[in-house]
Structure 1
Amino acid sequence: MTRESTLKRTPLYAVHQAAGSKLVDFSGWEMPLQYQRASDEVKAVRTAAGLTDVSHLGRIEVRGPRAKEFLDVVTSNDVAALKTGQAHYSFVLNPDGGILDDIVIYRAEPLLYIVCCNASNSEKLVRWFGKHGGDASFVEDVTMRDALIALQGPSSFLILQTFVDFDLKKLALYHIRRTTIMGEKTWLSRTGYTGERGYEIWMPAAKAAELWDGLMEAGEFNGLVPAGLSARDLLRLEMGFPLYGHELNERTTPVEAGLLRGVSFKKGEFVGRSALEAQTAAAPSRALIGFEMLSVEQGIPREGYSIHSNGSTIGEVTSGNLSPTLRKPIGMGYVSARYSKPGMEVWIDIRGKAGLANIVTMPFYRKASR
């Protein structure tokens, strides 16, 4: 059995094949890397709209009278504060405060919560939830049930409005609602990973290709293009959004990553709380930074490249690339906390040559329309 034959495929696999996309293995899924130049796809999302298949993202339903209290123990943000239709960013932590995954929790109905997680982590989270009392009677992995389609960019509102029977202006950022699209009951959320105004549509698998084609046809005169995972990664990097397996892992905490917006110390006990409180009180020894190279000629920073200051190694790059929007090399990485202030200069070892970079405040790209 070949590696290719064991890869999972989304309900839109045939669509991507027909479009001539470059398909690659991404966390065990055969996914479209790009349809045209990734920089052109990024430009379309920033100026018009892009359509991305994100069906590989895990979706776990937690339902019933125990759901709220359970999730408040196994996740870091304040689930009890969520009103029906709201969503928030959060973490699943181990007892040491390490990040098992960063997630978005939607309170879709009064007794239904949907945990959206990274592609490689859904099975891990289901097992973790099970260890903490989340048995199959109210926790279910529903990843394969629906396609998840992200429509992102300034024109996304105009394109999608013709498909729904309500005023899209009433769907606020980080909210979700039930609606009907093409005769199918779907969840529609105002979320995304690009920094632009955008929506994510949870479409029954059998109708996913029809919706994709319909959106592409409707968006033809609004500059809509299909966008692959390369563009999605560039878009999230320009916003300084972390990616699990790069900026986040089980040895990294939200304190070090500067992501305490996903943590609430106002609620009761949750897994990892004590470790985060102790680290916050003592101040972390390292911090996540964003940096911009002074010129393209110095090279492109990549994951694993070392970061230096005053002749000493102070950290390592976690993500880096040439930003199509800013037209300069940018990156993120962890460094010793005392070298993490914006305005400081650091050196990136790029294939044996030192490239000068400035530490900057993220996001790198600041003209996004939300």
Structure 2
Amino acid sequence: MTRMTTIESLQRTSLHALHTELGGRMVSFHGWELPVQFSSIITEHRAVRSAAGLFDVSHMGQVFVEGPGALALLQRVNSNDISRLQDGRGLYSHMLNENGGVVDDVIVSRLAENRYLVVVNAATREGDAAWIRRAAEGFDVAVEDRSEALGMIALQGPLSEKIMEALSTDAVALPRFGAMKLELFGRSAWITRTGYTGEDGFEVICARELATRAWQTLQARGASFGLLPCGLGARDTLRLEAGYLLYGSDIDGEHTPYEAGYGWVVKLKKGEFIGKAALEKQKTEGIRRRLTPLKLLERGVPRSGSEVVFEGEKIGTLASATFSPTLQAGIGVGYLNRPELPAGTPLSVTLHGRAVAAEVVEGPFYKRT
């Protein structure tokens, strides 16, 4: 099969024509054709850290859960405590299998009493919707996957508030993880104060056919603030610096929140939920591997799959890795079978057959002030 045929068989977001017009370099990503970059990954990365960036995240999924049994259902399929949410608030959570492995990491927002929005990853959208529907048996609830009808745009960066005013002056008052419904260009839409970059920002969910207009409105407003269109490349370097997980690389059905260093999303006291028994057992017995952040001490760009060596012994491989534009160094995270190793521990990463000096560090690599 030729590359052209492969690209032509991919799904496209409603912003595809705009990306092409803006010079986006298109690549395949979990069945979608999306821009990996418009200018350069480092330029886009720095724009988000210093000003603002605009991302097409329409490949993400939006599952609405509504009905008298909505809260009880979401409590069952989530590790975090959804009952804490008030109207217009959201939180980050993991959905787990019976073994405590991560089915997906999600953002759950309470839009109103008995009405919730679950934003899921592109690679797992159909499976997540099916998972929730199976769990919904016996609950008085409706589960609706509206992903095909909706577009999603992420505005990220310290100047996001000033730019978001072009779409909604009310949205700038949202707290972190806040969520609101609004009328956008005459249609229902939602804005959340969430993101995947480690910066302040917003995510706009609207009718698919309105996404281009929303993008252009934000782009026009942001031109004087240094806003740049950004692709998957910068999104990945930004999220890795910020310590955010990538499903399928850093977490999956074989790894638990405790092993990933995300035990804070597990609320064992909230009541029963899928995977609870396995996590209780693991918490008692302790973990045998941990997703550990590493920083190279020499020149080099680590990659996923690079071996990590400690005292002459391979102790794991990198799950995610990149060059950090902020730290000007190679960084990565990997599951190491020495979970007790503290920050500052010297080790090495094998790159192209060569041992490159590295050390364990405290995560995240970057935290905005």
Q: How does 1:172-211 map to 2 (within 5 A)?
A: 172-211=175-214
* Aligned CA distance change for structure 1 residues 338 and 245 (closer, same or farther; 3 Å): closer
Counterpart selection for 1:287 from 282, 287, 290: 290
- Aligned partner of 1:71 in structure 2 is 74
Q: AA paired with 1:301?
A: P
Q: Which runs of 5+ in 1 are unaligned?
A: none
Q: Deviations over 1:247-286 (max 9, x none)?
A: 1011000010110121111211100000011101111001
User: More displaced, 221-230 or 159-168?
Assistant: 159-168
Displacement of 1:337 in angstroms is 3.2
- Residue pair 1:288, 1:340 contacting (<8 A) in 2 also: no
Counterpart selection for 2:123 from 120, 123, 126: 120
- Residue pair 1:154, 1:196 contacting (<8 A) in 2 also: yes
Displacement of 1:137 in angstroms is 6.2
User: More displaced, 282-291 or 126-135?
Assistant: 126-135
- Aligned partner of 1:16 in structure 2 is 19
- Residue pair 1:12, 1:53 contacting (<8 A) in 2 also: yes
- Aligned partner of 1:334 in structure 2 is 335
* Aligned CA distance change for structure 1 residues 157 and 165 (closer, same or farther; 3 Å): closer
* Aligned CA distance change for structure 1 residues 338 and 90 (closer, same or farther; 3 Å): closer
Alignment partners' CA distance in 2, 1:308 and 1:274? 33
Q: AA paired with 1:355?
A: V
Alignment length, in residue pairs?
365
Alignment partners' CA distance in 2, 1:139 and 1:360? 42
- Aligned partner of 1:221 in structure 2 is 224
- Residue pair 1:165, 1:180 contacting (<8 A) in 2 also: no
Q: Secondary structure at the match of 1:89?
A: strand
Q: AA paired with 1:93?
A: L
Q: AA paired with 2:156?
A: Q
Q: Secondary structure at the match of 2:195?
A: coil
Displacement of 1:316 in angstroms is 0.9
Q: How does 1:329-368 map to 2 (within 5 A)?
A: 329-366=330-367, 368=368
Alignment partners' CA distance in 2, 1:133 and 1:107? 18
* Aligned CA distance change for structure 1 residues 265 and 136 (closer, same or farther; 3 Å): closer
- Aligned partner of 2:215 in structure 1 is 212
Q: Secondary structure at the match of 2:281?
A: helix
- Residue pair 1:284, 1:337 contacting (<8 A) in 2 also: no
Counterpart selection for 2:263 from 252, 260, 263: 260
Displacement of 1:338 in angstroms is 4.3
Alignment partners' CA distance in 2, 1:252 and 1:260? 12
Displacement of 1:350 in angstroms is 0.9
- Aligned partner of 1:108 in structure 2 is 111
- Aligned partner of 1:316 in structure 2 is 317
Q: Which runs of 5+ in 2 are unaligned?
A: none
- Residue pair 1:60, 1:141 contacting (<8 A) in 2 also: yes
- Aligned partner of 1:93 in structure 2 is 96
Alignment RMSD: 1.6
- Aligned partner of 1:153 in structure 2 is 157
- Aligned partner of 2:305 in structure 1 is 304
Percent identity between the aligned chains? 39
Alignment partners' CA distance in 1, 2:99 and 2:24? 41
Q: AA paired with 1:129?
A: I
TM-score for both structures, normalised by structure 2: 0.95
Displacement of 1:167 in angstroms is 6.4
Q: AA paired with 1:208?
A: A
Q: Secondary structure at the match of 1:337?
A: coil
Counterpart selection for 1:7 from 6, 10, 21: 10
> 2:68 matched to 1:55?
no
* Aligned CA distance change for structure 1 residues 29 and 167 (closer, same or farther; 3 Å): closer
Displacement of 1:339 in angstroms is 4.8
Alignment partners' CA distance in 2, 1:348 and 1:136? 52
Displacement of 1:164 in angstroms is 1.4
Alignment partners' CA distance in 2, 1:189 and 1:338? 35
Q: Secondary structure at the match of 2:360?
A: strand
Alignment partners' CA distance in 1, 2:58 and 2:363? 28
- Aligned partner of 1:166 in structure 2 is 170
Alignment partners' CA distance in 2, 1:130 and 1:218? 41
TM-score for both structures, normalised by structure 1: 0.95
- Residue pair 2:47, 2:227 contacting (<8 A) in 1 also: yes
- Residue pair 1:90, 1:103 contacting (<8 A) in 2 also: yes
- Aligned partner of 1:84 in structure 2 is 87
